[in-house]
Amino acid sequence: MTTATQDATQRTDQEPEMTTTAAPTGNLEITVSRAELLRELTAAQSVVERKTTIPILSNFLFEAAAGDGEPGKLTITATDLDQSVRTSCAAKVKKSGACTIPARKLYDYIKLLPEGDISIKLMDNHWVQIRAGRSNTKMVGMARANFPMVAEFPDSGAFKISAASLKNMISKTIFAISNEESRYTLNGALLVLKAESMAMVATDGHRLAHVEKLGEVLEGVSGEKKTLIPRKALSELLSLLNSSDVETLDFADDEQTLFFRVGGRVLTSRKLTGQFPNYEAVLPRDNNKFVIVRSEDLMGSIQRVAQFADERSGAIKIRLEQNELKLSSSSTDAGESEDTIETPYNYDPLVVGFNSQYLIDFLKAIGTQGEVRLEFKDAQSAGQMRPEDGNEDVKYRYILMPMRI
């Protein structure tokens, strides 16, 4: 047994969630439409690791089965051991079977082929022949037995979630997830499902994004169901949702694995374990000084002033005075800059510092149409930002810790 095979086998042994029914064996031989194959390879290829110490993980698993009196099907699986995507397309199956094919090389090659049918055949020693028109190519695969087993979507216990709502919630929180691997429980977003609402929250310790969708009827949810979803899985889920027109997706989990079924594609992910912080304790209660400005104006001012902020901290200063908001920055290397926005403000003057990139991330998430509300208590307390859009069904808030400047 090679070292790579031992590695893959050992990882598989350690991870009971990676189990499935036995795959078909035999010398796979199929014909498939290039357009359909490319569409599904595109959906699966982003899971494949570019650089991996376990060579089999650089491959797609192809499994072909001819149904009893039904059209044949090609199932494609990609995994990096933390998450996997399984998808399928119609195929004329001459011989059922399974093989693995180098993912990146296959994907790049299929993109270059003209439209039409492609025939794929497993040869001796795991070589795979690919014929299309006048092109004839053989690729070096690996033994199907080396490919890690991937968990099947559970038969029961799944919830139906609105695709549009989930997509919106991911895009409004994913940027606030921590990049520090040492902060393990902050490497994902918390999904909170209730009978008539759903929410998502993410934080990196410096900022927190929280979005709640009210009036979202979720059958089968009693009380509150909290699930921590890793950043990588959220990113993959977002791209599956963006490339699909389904109205709902199925969500299920067991002790170790999360399952998302988007149309005919299934994403599985290892669960993040651990306790997500008590985020409700940090939501500001008495930020009674506020100002409302056009999102576009604020974005422009921040981007200009940030050019002259300290490169390491990115800090800019917000000064609120009678009917105006001033943004400023300075650094010994770049110089200094100030922008003023006229807006109603009738509270005590306030000066507070924030990371400019954190402000920009939020404004990108809400878009530059409409207005944004900035709420403050004092220079030492967290600030809160919210879109001033009058949408009562979706409540979105962004909490930012101040910086000393």
Q: Read off the pLDDT of residues 166-220 as tens digits, 9 standing for 90 and up.
A: 999 999 999 999 988 788 789 999 999 998 999 999 999 999 999 999 988 888 8
Q: Which residues pair with 159 in a beta bridge?
A: 251
Secondary-structure percent of the chain, ordered helix, strand, coil, rounded to 5: 25, 40, 35
Task: Say if residue 21's pLDDT is above 50.
Answer: no
The H or E element spanning position 299 is helix 295-306
Task: Say if residue 306's pLDDT is above 90.
Answer: yes
Give me the pLDDT at residue 233, please. 96
* 17 or 266: which leads in pLDDT: 266
For 390, residues 6+ apart whose C-beta sits below 8 A from its C-beta are none
Give me the pLDDT at residue 9, please. 39
Mean pLDDT over 23-48 rounds to: 89
| Domains, the chain, ordered by start | 3-146 (3.10.150.10), 159-280 (3.10.150.10), 284-400 (3.10.150.10)
8 A C-beta contact, residue 74 and residue 95: no
Give me the pLDDT at residue 234, please. 97
Token pair of 291 as six digits: 């100002």
Q: Provide the pLDDT confidence category of residue 26 given band limits of 50, 70 and 90.
A: low
* 70 or 289: which leads in pLDDT: 289
DSSP code string of 28-82: -EEEEEHHHHHHHHHHHHTTS-SS-SSGGGGEEEEEEE--SSS-EEEEEEEE-SS
Q: Provide the pLDDT confidence category of residue 140 given band limits of 50, 70 and 90.
A: very high
The whole-angstrom separation of Cα 125 and Cα 103 is: 18
Which amino acid is residue 93, in one-letter code? Answer: V
| Phi, then psi, of 388 in degrees rounded to 5 | -95, 70
Q: Read off the pLDDT of residues 39-62 as tens digits, 9 standing for 90 and up.
A: 999 999 999 988 889 999 999 999
* 4 or 260: which leads in pLDDT: 260
Classify 109 as helix, strand or coil.
Answer: helix
The whole-angstrom separation of Cα 252 and Cα 155 is: 9
The whole-angstrom separation of Cα 404 and Cα 241 is: 40
8 A C-beta contact, residue 308 and residue 337: yes
Q: Read off the pLDDT of residues 316-368 as tens digits, 9 standing for 90 and up.
A: 999 999 999 999 999 988 999 999 999 999 999 999 999 999 999 999 999 98
Percent of the chain surpassing pLDDT 70? 93
Q: Is 4 exposed, middle or buried (0-12, 13-18, 19+ CB in 10 A)?
A: middle
The whole-angstrom separation of Cα 271 and Cα 275 is: 12
Q: Provide the pLDDT confidence category of residue 273 given band limits of 50, 70 and 90.
A: confident
Q: Provide the pLDDT confidence category of residue 22 given band limits of 50, 70 and 90.
A: very low
Give me the pLDDT at residue 17, please. 40
Task: Say if residue 231's pLDDT is above 90.
Answer: yes
Q: Provide the pLDDT confidence category of residue 6 given band limits of 50, 70 and 90.
A: very low
* 120 or 222: which leads in pLDDT: 120
- Calculate the average pLDDT of the chain: 90
Distances from the Cα of 209 to the Cαs of 55, 84, 107, 401, in angstroms? 38, 27, 36, 12
Give me the pLDDT at residue 173, please. 97
The whole-angstrom separation of Cα 396 and Cα 291 is: 17
Distances from the Cα of 14 to the Cαs of 7, 36, 148, 267, in angstroms? 11, 35, 11, 20
The whole-angstrom separation of Cα 178 and Cα 97 is: 42
Task: Say if residue 10's pLDDT is above 80.
Answer: no
* 405 or 96: which leads in pLDDT: 96
Q: Provide the pLDDT confidence category of residue 160 given band limits of 50, 70 and 90.
A: very high
Give me the pLDDT at residue 385, please. 97
Task: Say if residue 19's pLDDT is above 60.
Answer: no
Cα-Cα-Cα-Cα torsion 95, 97, 103, 108, nearest 10 degrees, comes to: 0
Task: Say if residue 8's pLDDT is above 50.
Answer: no
